[in-house]
Structure 1
Amino acid sequence: MELAAPPMRMRPVERLLHAAAAGNALLASAARALVVALVGIMVASIVWQVVTRAVFNRSPPWTEEVALLAFGWIVLLMLALCTREHLHVRVDLLLTALPERASRWVERAIALLVAGIAAYLLWAGSSYLMEMRGATSQAVKYPSWLLYGALPVTAAMLFLFAAENALRGPPARGEHAE
């Protein structure tokens, strides 16, 4: 979502919302770049596994672990990004039956519910991350926070993006979020 510069005569709340949306746009751009890098790492790891298995009849033990680590982050980052961009799968039969104004308020309420779920996931994921402190992966021996940190990080993003959607509201019918 590209944001225009805020008009000079904005109320303080509007300026705050505009700044939050700009911050979320930056966060989303960084997440997109990270997803692209992680997809490259995941594909390279899997290709290396296939090549070494075909050529040497034995693949290194770390390739699957690295691919699974990257995949976990990719899925959770994309969940947050798709929520921000209104690209998630949903059944909107009831929403299309409602008048547009009522539908927009229901969508805002759904976004608040998603933000509440994200807050819980942030709490639960952080708790689990603390419980697993000091643990390492089997093959590579990377610290467990690299894997278990994905949930609290992406839950925080999901919370911010869902809160933005609740405040901004959904795109008008027929329009698509950018």
Structure 2
Amino acid sequence: MSDVLHKSTRLRRMSTALDAIALICKIVTGIALVVLTVIFGWLVFGRYVLNATPTWVEQVALLLVMLIAFLGAAVGVHEHTHLSVSILRSSVPRRVRSVLVVMSDIAMAGFGGLMLWYGWQLTLFKWGSLIPLIQVPEGLRSLPLTVGGALILLFSLGHLIRLFLGADERSDSIE
């Protein structure tokens, strides 16, 4: 009994930590989206009212889009709202569905791991040069890829742990 309670407590702590990480990602992407909107407003104002286009907006916008895309994708994996085709899983028998769910989570973990590894390599490779107009390291362009990959790996492993411990609550998983 004590062992089951201990596993349940650890599982709850893991889920709480993963939920907190996903919430932080949502906050960061929300702020990035607001900043993106504001700087494009400044771009339009500068171009048409001041007749002086701020040249740094494009470079900052590219960084923000990368941040929004990769953190948003990781949250989608955590919340199981990422693009997926669940019609196949829904139309097969329960045993096959179980295998497909595990394969999907393993594939996502592998994909996240590859994003983490190659994103990190790219970040290190590009860190020595600067992005024109904003003078920050070029490696910042690929850092969201690295962080997003790490989070996709982490969230996918969390799904697998919950699945194997019988605590998976996803609606299209194993019913």
Q: Is the 8 A contact 1:136 1:143 kept in 2?
A: yes
Aligned to 1:64: 58
Structure 2 alignment gaps of length 5 or more: none
Aligned to 1:3: none
How far off is 1:94 after superposition? 1.7
TM-score, normalised with respect to structure 1: 0.85
Aligned to 1:47: 41
Aligned to 1:172: 171
SS in 2 for 1:10: helix
Root mean square deviation, CA, Å:
2.1
* Counterpart amino acid of residue 171 in structure 2: A
Equivalences for 1:1-178 in 2 at 5 Å?
10=4, 12-169=6-163, 171-173=170-172
**Cα distance in 2 for residues equivalent to 1:25 and 1:92:** 23
Q: Is the 8 A contact 1:43 1:67 kept in 2?
A: no
Deviation per CA, 1:38-91: give whole Å up to 9, x if none: 011111110000111111233111111111111110011110001111111222
Q: Is the 8 A contact 2:29 2:71 kept in 1?
A: yes
TM-score, normalised with respect to structure 2: 0.86
* Counterpart amino acid of residue 114 in structure 1: M
**Cα distance in 2 for residues equivalent to 1:71 and 1:95:** 32
* Counterpart amino acid of residue 32 in structure 1: K
Aligned to 1:4: none
State percent identity of aligned pairs. Answer: 23
How far off is 1:161 after superposition? 0.7
Q: Which moved more, 1:82-91 or 1:164-173?
A: 164-173
Paired residue total: 168
How far off is 1:18 after superposition? 2.7
Q: Is the 8 A contact 1:125 1:149 kept in 2?
A: yes
How far off is 1:9 after superposition? 5.9
